[in-house]
């Protein structure tokens, strides 16, 4: 089929499009067409499609048919307007604007006043009755066209303008009169000739064509490409170009320009909000030459236009069924709509507006859920610093986990716990944190580190806990030994000094900054917030939206929780069970020594003794946990620690031994320990003796844990409870590992069941956290009743980088270069990790149709990832307690969207 | 369809089967049937199928139809033999033997003399005219049946036998007469009654049925299950059971038993080889009571039987078209064939026999290739210790890389290189090796370590080089500082003492043991071995087999080689290019310091200076390499070192600094270095800043290397050469990384091409060594002209364990438990890693049909893995020079087999 037979349509009049054609006409063009079709006063114009842009980008030339089609639409436009581009007596002027499907910084925005030339500028002056207006318009055209289309450096025009003002003794641009501006136009012509190597084009059609091509070219600026890489916007979408007849808000006091919102985008309150500037163009509002007035004042200036605007806004809101923002211009008493779109809003406003629209009958619950998102809810769950901060700023780090925290500086976990027990609020300050700091982190109001980035231990754990964290504040020097921190300029923070940290901005202050708790968290915690103020309205809206989500969602939401306290909190936040109890967290603190002994044991007796000491402690842990989650499933993962976390640091120990030797004061114990640590030292602990491997190599370890679980379940059952334990084997790579552990576990469970004469219904399953487990899921499902995807480890192995190591060294560079749009540890990497998850779900269920599927990695609480997990058919997601409301909301949104 | 309509056939008479029914009749049964159908004298009998066993294993009971079918076949057998089981006057005796498809240790083997009972033992005595024979046969039946069928401890019978001998004053079993044996039978009856809780069954049919069931049960002994896990034999194949009428070789001087081969299984020479024992049963040969005589001597004893045997063996060899081994018995001058199968043989014999059979027209070249394998060829390529070793054994380690090596003990690389340059042969002895030992390993005859297993650095590199290595000899204490090694018993080996190591057995000797070089390597190296001795015949056979393989194979074979010397050697071994040149190996030795400076550089100037110093050195490296491989492709991988290998060890440095501080003698440089090392320290270097990540983070590094490659290619072109360089980007996880490097590389190449006015045709491609690369191969192929699978790293990340760490801690346990049949670092894991490779091939070629595909991991030279790579459609495999002949052979075998 040749082009001649059916020439492709590359140009759409505003009357031909509609809002659903964003792919073809871009966002701006589609909405202009929509308003035109609604009968609203839009200046006539047309849109060149993204298809035309794609042809240009592929071939380096506009499609053959484009010139003729633009010509035809231009003719029609000129006919309708009754004037022509470049017509000496009464020229038609147009604006040329880019308009991609997604708004994109770095792309060319706008050239106004296209069509003006030496030949018709006086005609415009005569028509407008305003010579200064005409020359100023011409001056602006040359300046914008020169800079964005012809590539002349913008400063060249700015410098000339400044010089003209200096020569005329003018302070502001408006002080230049028509004569000055005419002279300036001549100077601008010279600049273009010199710098672009050509004259400013006098042919209006040439102006138009060059401007269109410049818009096309701007699709591929470095900044636009970087933005697309980061936002994962495909590079081949292309942009549309809108050509719209000009209207002027700067033709006198009966003209003006404004922006407006159909409700308050800050609080979500109903009503009309906006600003108006008399006798001005859009760019003047930005330039801030004069102050705008509230939109309501327009009624006093031009009641007719005001009434028309109110009516239009109601039409738009009803039509778009959402908050709209608009741009408009009044030209000599006539109202023109220049743009509309669904308006941005704050998180609080999003929730309130969504419920308002449901009440108005404009949208249903499913639609309401599409109007908010989990990131907004998360934002609403953090406390904030109240007003303007007056405290001294000590420095700034990475905003790792939002919220506002105030407390006394402490430099180790022990002090954090001790002080917090005696009622002090503390901020834990460390160079960086590790799992041993966990208790201190729990005790602290917030965490501040001088090293590490957004995926450092401190950041990840704090986000998980919903605890404020500023990390990587490199200008702050933390001296743990001397218990103090030094800020630039020599300010020293000693232990006990009060500091305040803002996890939403990364700012660190000396002294106390007042904090307001999140009303949404107060609501989830059951401390309901009464009253009809903004906070009360917000809580009501959140409550309703959560109810919509819970009714709609298919995914269940469980919590990652390792103790009864976390479990109880998770339940208040809506958890439907525990998806991950990490038993290694139960082995920290005072039990750590027992584990160390177990690992270093030389004889069976030593090993057995350690295990027997651990058994009753583990059993008590589980009894508490099952009680807190009575009637709901609790998945207990058997021990999965990197070995080195339970052993002394090899470097520290080596130094100690060497120093002791040099003093001829060797400690026999240290020497033996060092030998053992050498023997067990791993180059890559993440890829070493962990999980099921440890269970198969240390006899009795897993069976001790299984026994503790089974006995705890039996005890709860005896006490009239309803324990629902599930036992999860970590780091399985091949079904043989699982079979061996399973055989042993089943024997132990049978023993306990027999002794207590009870059927415990303990399910046995496995983590899928190695690529091999995902690739052989069909085999593994033979031996597993459930899979839980450990997407943290899966991300590490699929990408071959470890969370602990890579962020400092190259993640920042990768985000900057756009290799990642977002860290794959935050949002699941659909193409890589996701492909494995999808395959494992499919093949696992092929083997065992009733296989239960869940996820317990950090991604379980990440909004975008929850949609993915819904789509691949998981039964549940599990995340840290604080993220549960977010996961519930997103699970509802995913179901509502039918994704 | 019910069983009644068409009862399944569970029993086959020997006249009904054939050798192709191994699945159904097992190996032994199928071959007995084949011989029967060839008209050879096989004692009549029948086989119970593996299907019957499968039913039994599934349901716990024999299939209903089995009893009747066995009865019918037994009737037929009794009719043919003219006597019945248990018939008092002349009883029929049968043997009951297991016979699975694959021969399997741990399964029940044989019960002889089934059918004997109190009622008929005297009848047998009368028939045979030998009372002792009858009671001895009965005694043996009760003993075998009691131990293997009734589960009585074997020692119980042994003890009773010993006691009987003591009481009779007998030295050997044969010294017991009929009376003694009759008494012993009574004692045996008591033992069975006591230990098995039942009488020895007197009903011969019950004996038979119980023996059959015992064979079925023996399929699932722990040892058999372990063996199957290790050998990856499916657990549900089941075993067949052969019931065969007994013949006796112990009925006098005209009886006897023997084994024979149709050619010499040791050398492969043509002729008949075997052993014969007069007046004996098969088990007596094993017991070694008397010495056997050469088979040729049978001619003097029984010419008729000898001639018949010779004729039968010719028939079998022609029929099986291969070396056969047989078991036979002569009963009072009548020859009976008890077993035949294709015989095992040495590696050398395999090659010679295969070519002989081609010459005889019995098989074609493709079939000949199936008669040998790469493991055999590899075995033939190692030197050996000559005769019986008289030197003192110092200890024993793991046989990590075969061969025999003798040299002076050295304890560091530097000395190894120095001494070897002055003409000394040296053995490099280390606790363990690392990449810095590479030069020393190259210089040494062999490597001995006291730590690490079969996949330790020393083992893997040595195998790669084809260099003898014994590793993990833990009883030897290596003291690098004092340059000596201490063996158990206090024997001390000082630097310069001569030691000999046997890489095929793991044995380590003090002093010189004579070594014979491999004639096959001499041949590949072009030092052809003349003469008609065994070595000469072997070389001729290998030459012919390699020619068959080269004609047949589709896969090309390249070498992993990092310098001109290796490249030249690889060419002599038949390499068709270089598949992997690891440039990090070019950065060791004296250049290491430059690289360290580069990594630690604080300023652009420092970095640029290091890079400029490296550029000419790199260029010279490549010029040499391209010259050695002129006309063949050379794939150069850009730098991919784990960072820590180029930095001082953090523990050593910390100790040095701490000790210096304690002496108040701190070194400013060390302090700065320690800070930097801390900054760059990685918890998991394998998952850290490596490969393309390093290239993207250190500006100019990759472009320096690309420039060196391009300039070297230009220089070779100018010198009239034909360089065919391919540039490979390591550790790519996402196409964006590749695009960024590619853009930079293309600019540099364009510059060089322009300056030298030449088109260099440099291909750009990537390693596929991360799961994510494999999973997104379709995207990555957009930017890559070739893929090379790095299956070492892929195995690490797919399984989540690192080669350096896991072997010591749990690989041994995993192999013992049968979780692995073989280390996945040796043979590619088809289900996991293989699934990714297959997917990446498919999706890569979907994007780019002419995508070139290869593999450059260790697996490229592993026989089984080569077949996999052939099957998934790679273009080439690349392996270390020494493995190239193996890869060529296996590539030919894969093509010949049509896999």
The whole-number pLDDT of residue A211 equals: 96
Contact between chains at B776 and A832 (C-beta distance less than 8 A): yes
Q: Could you give the CA distance from residue B688 to residue A433 in angstroms, rounded to a whole number?
A: 19
> Residue B684: its chain A contacts at CB < 8 A?
683-687, 802, 804-805
B831, closest residue in chain A (CA to CA): A776
Query: Is A637 annotated for ligand binding?
Result: yes
3-class DSSP state of A17? coil
Query: Is A769 annotated for ligand binding?
Result: yes
Average confidence (pLDDT) over B650-674: 85
Residues 271-330 of B with CB under 8 A from A: none
Residue owning tokens 């992997």: B580
Whether residue B13 has pLDDT greater than 90: yes
**String of b and e for A11-44 (b: at least 16 CB within 10 Å)?**
bbbbebbebebbebbbbbbbbbbbbbebebebbb
Contact between chains at A793 and B800 (C-beta distance less than 8 A): yes
Tell me, yes or no, if A457 is annotated catalytic: yes
Contact between chains at B683 and A680 (C-beta distance less than 8 A): no
Q: Name the minimum distance, in Å, from the CA of A867 to any CA of chain B.
A: 21
**Among candidates A858, A856, A861, which has minimal Cα distance to A886?**
A861
Tell me, yes or no, if B870 is annotated catalytic: no
- CB of B787 within 8 A of CB of B852? yes
Band of pLDDT at residue B683, cut at 50, 70 and 90: confident
The whole-number pLDDT of residue A807 equals: 60
Phi, psi (5° rounding) for residue A574?
A: 105, 15
Tokens linked to B852: 């070139």
Contact between chains at B659 and A654 (C-beta distance less than 8 A): no
The whole-number pLDDT of residue A809 equals: 65
Average confidence (pLDDT) over B580-588: 87
Q: Which of A716-725, B286-295, B374-383, B881-890 bottoms out in mean pLDDT, i.e. has the lowest?
A: B286-295
Band of pLDDT at residue A2, cut at 50, 70 and 90: very low
Q: What is the mean pLDDT of chain B?
A: 91
Residues 193-222 of A with CB under 8 A from B: none
Question: Would an 8 Å CB–CB cutoff place A833 in contact with chain B?
Answer: yes
Question: Would an 8 Å CB–CB cutoff place A682 in contact with chain B?
Answer: yes
Average confidence (pLDDT) over B198-226: 92
The whole-number pLDDT of residue A808 equals: 57
**String of b and e for B823-839 (b: at least 16 CB within 10 Å)?**
bbbbbbbbebbbbbbbb
Question: Would an 8 Å CB–CB cutoff place A474 in contact with chain B?
Answer: no
B50-59 vs B22-37: helix crossing angle, rounded to 10: 150
Band of pLDDT at residue B576, cut at 50, 70 and 90: very high
Whether residue B3 has pLDDT greater than 60: no
Q: Could you give the CA distance from residue B100 to residue B113 in angstroms, rounded to a whole number?
A: 21
Catalytic residue among B53, B244, B856, B879: B856
Catalytic residue among A180, A457, A859, A870: A457
pLDDT digits (tens, 9 = 90+) for A776-806: 999 999 999 999 999 999 999 999 998 776 6
Query: Is B734 annotated for ligand binding?
Result: no
Q: Which of B381-390, B394-403, B506-515, B713-722 bottoms out in mean pLDDT, i.e. has the lowest?
A: B381-390
Tokens linked to A422: 């005696």
First to last CA, chain B: 37
Whether residue B429 has pLDDT greater than 60: yes
Q: Name the minimum distance, in Å, from the CA of A203 to any CA of chain B.
A: 39
Phi-psi region of A649 (alpha: psi -120 to 50; beta: other; left: phi over 0): beta
Whether residue B209 has pLDDT greater than 60: yes
Tokens linked to A135: 């020359």
* Helix, strand, coil in percent for chain B, rounding step 5: 50, 15, 30
The whole-number pLDDT of residue B455 equals: 59
Task: List Cα–Cα distances, B551 to A726, A731, B381, B795, in angstroms.
Answer: 59, 46, 22, 32
pLDDT digits (tens, 9 = 90+) for A370-407: 999 998 999 899 888 876 778 888 999 988 888 899 99
- CB of A96 within 8 A of CB of A114? yes
Type and span of the H or E element at A75:
helix A64-81
Q: What is the mean pLDDT of chain A?
A: 91
> Residue A831: its chain B contacts at CB < 8 A?
772, 775-776, 779
pLDDT digits (tens, 9 = 90+) for A530-551: 667 888 899 999 999 999 999 9
The whole-number pLDDT of residue B807 equals: 60
* Helix, strand, coil in percent for chain A, rounding step 5: 50, 15, 30
The whole-number pLDDT of residue A676 equals: 79
Question: Would an 8 Å CB–CB cutoff place A659 in contact with chain B?
Answer: yes
Contact between chains at B832 and A685 (C-beta distance less than 8 A): no
pLDDT digits (tens, 9 = 90+) for A5-27: 678 999 999 999 999 999 999 99
* Cβ atoms within 10 Å, residue B736: 20
Contact between chains at A687 and B689 (C-beta distance less than 8 A): no
First to last CA, chain A: 37
Extract the runs of DSSP E, i.e. beta strands, from A58-170. Answer: 94-100, 110-114
The whole-number pLDDT of residue B2 equals: 45
* Cβ atoms within 10 Å, residue B314: 12
Whether residue A1 has pLDDT greater than 60: no
Whether residue A899 has pLDDT greater than 70: no
Residues 477-506 of A with CB under 8 A from B: none
Q: Name the minimum distance, in Å, from the CA of A106 to any CA of chain B.
A: 20
Question: How does DSSP classify residue A343?
Answer: P
The whole-number pLDDT of residue B387 equals: 67
pLDDT digits (tens, 9 = 90+) for A247-290: 999 888 999 999 899 998 888 888 888 889 998 887 766 555 56
Average confidence (pLDDT) over B599-622: 90
Contact between chains at A800 and B687 (C-beta distance less than 8 A): yes
Contact between chains at B804 and A684 (C-beta distance less than 8 A): yes
Contact between chains at B800 and A814 (C-beta distance less than 8 A): no
Type and span of the H or E element at B256:
strand B256-263
Q: What one-character-per-residue DSSP string does B158-201 give? A: HHHHHHHHHHHT-SSGGG--HHHHHHHHHHHHHHHHHHHSSPPP
3-class DSSP state of A378? helix
Closest Cβ opposite residue B731 in set A229, A651, A800: A800
Percentage of chain A beyond pLDDT 90 is 69
Whether residue B230 has pLDDT greater than 80: no
- CB of A581 within 8 A of CB of A634? yes
Tokens linked to A821: 């749009």
Residue owning tokens 């009571």: B289
> Residue A817: its chain B contacts at CB < 8 A?
696, 736, 740
Average confidence (pLDDT) over B554-577: 95
Average confidence (pLDDT) over B125-133: 92
The CB-based long-range contact list for A507-511 (8 Å cut-off, 24+ gap) reads A507/A389, A507/A393, A507/A396, A507/A470, A508/A393, A508/A394, A508/A395, A508/A396, A508/A397, A508/A448, A508/A470, A508/A473, A508/A476, A509/A389, A509/A391, A509/A392, A509/A393, A509/A394, A510/A391, A510/A392, A510/A393, A510/A394, A511/A391, A511/A392
The whole-number pLDDT of residue B170 equals: 86
Three-state secondary structure string covering A433-479: CCHHHHHHHHHCCEEEECCCCCCCHHHHHHHHHCCEEEECCCCCEEE
Contact between chains at A687 and B686 (C-beta distance less than 8 A): yes
Whether residue B436 has pLDDT greater than 90: no
> Residue B818: its chain A contacts at CB < 8 A?
736
- CB of B147 within 8 A of CB of B153? yes
Residue owning tokens 């996402």: B734
pLDDT digits (tens, 9 = 90+) for A85-107: 999 988 999 999 999 998 777 67
**Among candidates B789, B784, B773, B770, which has minimal Cα distance to B878?**
B789
Question: Would an 8 Å CB–CB cutoff place B778 in contact with chain A?
Answer: no
Residue owning tokens 């012993």: B184
Whether residue A502 has pLDDT greater than 60: yes
Query: Is B790 annotated for ligand binding?
Result: yes
Whether residue A293 has pLDDT greater than 60: yes
Q: Could you give the CA distance from residue A554 to residue B162 in angstroms, rounded to a whole number?
A: 75
Whether residue A815 has pLDDT greater than 90: no
Contact between chains at A817 and B736 (C-beta distance less than 8 A): yes
Residues 779-818 of B with CB under 8 A from A: 779, 793, 796-802, 804-806, 809-810, 813-814, 817-818
Q: Name the minimum distance, in Å, from the CA of B220 to any CA of chain A.
A: 16
Band of pLDDT at residue B829, cut at 50, 70 and 90: very high
**ipTM exceeding cut-off 0.90 for this assembly:** no
Q: Which of A849-853, B469-473, B629-633, B648-652 bottoms out in mean pLDDT, i.e. has the lowest?
A: B648-652
Average confidence (pLDDT) over A870-886: 95
Whether residue B739 has pLDDT greater than 60: yes
Query: Is B847 annotated for ligand binding?
Result: no
Average confidence (pLDDT) over B367-376: 94
Domains of chain B: 51-65+76-245 (3.30.1490.20), 256-342 (3.30.470.20), 383-517 (3.50.30.10), 553-586+614-641+701-897 (3.20.20.60)
The size of the A-B interface in CB pairs under 8 A is 202
**String of b and e for A226-240 (b: at least 16 CB within 10 Å)?**
ebbbbeebeeebbbb
- CB of A407 within 8 A of CB of A427? yes
pLDDT digits (tens, 9 = 90+) for A818-853: 788 788 988 999 999 999 999 999 999 999 999 999
pLDDT digits (tens, 9 = 90+) for A174-229: 789 999 999 999 999 999 999 999 999 999 999 999 999 999 999 988 878 877 76
Query: Is A220 annotated for ligand binding?
Result: no
Question: How does DSSP classify residue A824?
Answer: T
> Residue B817: its chain A contacts at CB < 8 A?
696, 736, 740
Average confidence (pLDDT) over B722-739: 96
Contact between chains at B799 and A770 (C-beta distance less than 8 A): yes
Alpha-carbon torsion (B43, B44, B50, B52), positive or negative? negative
The whole-number pLDDT of residue B340 equals: 94
Q: Which of A226-230, B200-204, B272-276 bottoms out in mean pLDDT, i.e. has the lowest?
A: A226-230
* Cβ atoms within 10 Å, residue A78: 16
> Residue A798: its chain B contacts at CB < 8 A?
770-772, 775, 797
Residue owning tokens 């790679």: B874
Band of pLDDT at residue A774, cut at 50, 70 and 90: very high
Q: For residue A190, give every residue at least 6 positions away whose Cβ sits within 8 Å of its Cβ, in sequence order, or none.
A: none
Residue owning tokens 């050879």: B40
Phi-psi region of B108 (alpha: psi -120 to 50; beta: other; left: phi over 0): beta
Q: Sheet of B404-410: strands edge to edge?
A: B392-396, B507-510, B498-502, B404-410, B426-430, B446-449, B468-471, B398-401
Query: Is A793 annotated for ligand binding?
Result: yes
- CB of B687 within 8 A of CB of A806? yes
- CB of B782 within 8 A of CB of B764? no
Q: Name the minimum distance, in Å, from the CA of B661 to any CA of chain A.
A: 10
The whole-number pLDDT of residue A529 equals: 64
- Distance, CA of B386 to chain centre: 23
Q: Could you give the CA distance from residue A769 to residue A767 in angstroms, rounded to a whole number?
A: 6
């Amino acid at each position: 089929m040749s082009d001649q037979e059916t020439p492709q349509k590359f140009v759409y009049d505003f009357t031909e499009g509609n809002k659903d054609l964003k792919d073809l006409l871009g966002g701006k063009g589609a909405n202009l067409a929509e308003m035109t079709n609604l009968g609203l006063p839009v200046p006539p114009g047309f849109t060149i499609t993204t298809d035309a842009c794609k042809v240009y980008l592929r071939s380096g030339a506009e499609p053959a048919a484009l010139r003729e089609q633009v010509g035809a639409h231009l003719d029609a436009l000129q006919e309708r307007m009754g004037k022509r581009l470049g017509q000496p007596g009464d020229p038609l002027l147009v604006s040329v604007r880019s308009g991609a499907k997604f708004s994109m910084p770095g792309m060319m925005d706008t050239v106004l006043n296209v069509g003006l030339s030496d030949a018709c500028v006086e005609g415009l002056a005569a028509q407008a009755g305003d010579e200064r207006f005409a020359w100023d318009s011409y001056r602006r055209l040359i300046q914008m066209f020169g800079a964005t289309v012809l590539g002349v450096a913008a400063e060249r025009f700015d410098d000339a303008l400044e010089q003209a003002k200096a020569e005329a003794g003018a302070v502001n641009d408006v002080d230049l009169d028509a004569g000055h501006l005419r002279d300036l136009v001549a100077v601008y012509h010279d600049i273009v000739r010199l710098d672009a190597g050509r004259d400013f084009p006098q042919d209006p059609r040439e102006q138009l064509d060059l401007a269109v091509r410049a818009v096309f070219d701007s699709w591929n600026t470095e900044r636009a490409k970087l933005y697309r890489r980061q936002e994962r916007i495909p590079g081949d979408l292309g942009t549309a170009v809108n050509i719209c007849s000009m209207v002027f808000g700067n033709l006198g006091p009966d003209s003006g320009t404004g922006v407006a919102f159909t409700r308050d985008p800050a609080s979500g309150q109903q009503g009309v909000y906006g600003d108006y500037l008399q006798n001005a163009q859009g760019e003047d509002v930005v330039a801030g030459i004069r102050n705008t007035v509230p939109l309501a004042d327009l009624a006093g200036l031009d009641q007719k236009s005001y009434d028309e605007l109110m009516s239009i806004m109601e039409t738009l809101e009803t039509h778009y069924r959402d908050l709209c923002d608009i741009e408009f211009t009044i030209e000599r008493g006539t109202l023109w709509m220049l743009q509309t779109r669904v308006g941005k809003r704050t998180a609080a406003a999003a929730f309130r507006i969504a419920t308002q629209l449901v009440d108005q009958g404009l949208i249903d619950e499913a639609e309401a859920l599409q109007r908010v998102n989990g990131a907004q809810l998360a934002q609403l769950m953090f406390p904030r610093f109240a007003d303007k901060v007056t405290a001294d700023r000590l420095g700034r780090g990475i905003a790792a986990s939002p919220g506002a925290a105030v407390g006394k500086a402490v430099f180790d976990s022990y002090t954090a716990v001790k002080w917090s027990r005696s009622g002090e609020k503390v901020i834990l300050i460390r160079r960086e944190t590790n799992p041993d700091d966990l208790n201190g982190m729990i005790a602290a109001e917030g965490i501040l580190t001088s090293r590490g980035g957004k995926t450092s231990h401190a950041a990840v754990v704090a986000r998980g806990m919903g605890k404020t964290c500023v990390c990587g504040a490199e200008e702050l020097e933390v001296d743990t030994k001397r218990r103090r921190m030094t800020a630039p300029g020599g300010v020293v923070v000693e232990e006990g000094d009060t500091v305040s940290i803002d996890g939403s901005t990364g700012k660190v202050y000396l002294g106390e900054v007042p904090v307001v708790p999140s009303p949404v968290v107060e609501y989830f915690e059951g401390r309901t917030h009464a009253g009809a103020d903004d906070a009360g309205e917000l809580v009501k809206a959140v409550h309703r939206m959560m109810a919509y989500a819970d009714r709609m969602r298919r995914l269940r939401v469980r919590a990652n929780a390792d103790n009864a306290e976390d479990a109880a909190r998770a339940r208040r936040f809506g958890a439907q069970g525990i998806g991950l109890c990490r038993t290694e967290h139960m082995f920290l603190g005072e039990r750590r020594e027992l584990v160390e002994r177990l690992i270093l044991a030389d004889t069976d007796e030593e090993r057995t003794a350690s295990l027997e000491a651990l058994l009753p402690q583990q059993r008590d842990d589980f009894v508490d946990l099952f009680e807190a989650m009575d009637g709901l499933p609790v998945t207990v993962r058997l021990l999965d620690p990197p070995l080195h976390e339970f052993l002394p640091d090899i470097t520290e120990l080596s130094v100690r031994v060497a120093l002791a030797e040099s003093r001829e004061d060797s400690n026999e114990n240290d020497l033996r320990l060092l030998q053992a640590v050498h023997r067990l030292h791993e180059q890559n602990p993440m890829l070493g003796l962990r999980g099921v491997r440890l269970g198969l190599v240390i006899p009795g370890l897993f069976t001790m844990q299984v026994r503790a679980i089974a006995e705890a379940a039996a005890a709860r059952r005896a006490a009239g409870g309803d324990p629902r334990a599930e036992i999860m084997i970590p780091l399985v790579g091949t079904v043989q590992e699982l079979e061996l552990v399973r055989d042993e576990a089943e024997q132990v469970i049978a023993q306990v069941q027999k002794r207590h004469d009870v059927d415990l219904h303990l399910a046995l399953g496995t983590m899928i956290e190695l690529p091999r487990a995902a690739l052989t899921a069909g085999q593994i499902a033979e031996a597993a009743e459930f899979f839980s995807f450990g997407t943290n480890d899966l991300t590490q192995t699929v990408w071959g980088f470890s969370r602990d190591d890579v962020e400092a060294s190259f993640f920042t560079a990768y985000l900057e270069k756009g290799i990642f749009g977002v860290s794959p540890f935050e949002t699941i990497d659909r193409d890589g990790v996701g492909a494995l998850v999808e395959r494992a779900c499919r093949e696992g269920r092929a083997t065992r149709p009733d296989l239960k599927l869940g996820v317990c990695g950090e991604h379980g609480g990440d909004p975008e990832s929850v949609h993915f997990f819904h789509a691949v058919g998981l039964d549940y997601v599990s995340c840290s307690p604080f993220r549960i409301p977010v996961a519930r909301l997103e699970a509802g949104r995913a179901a509502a969207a039918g994704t």
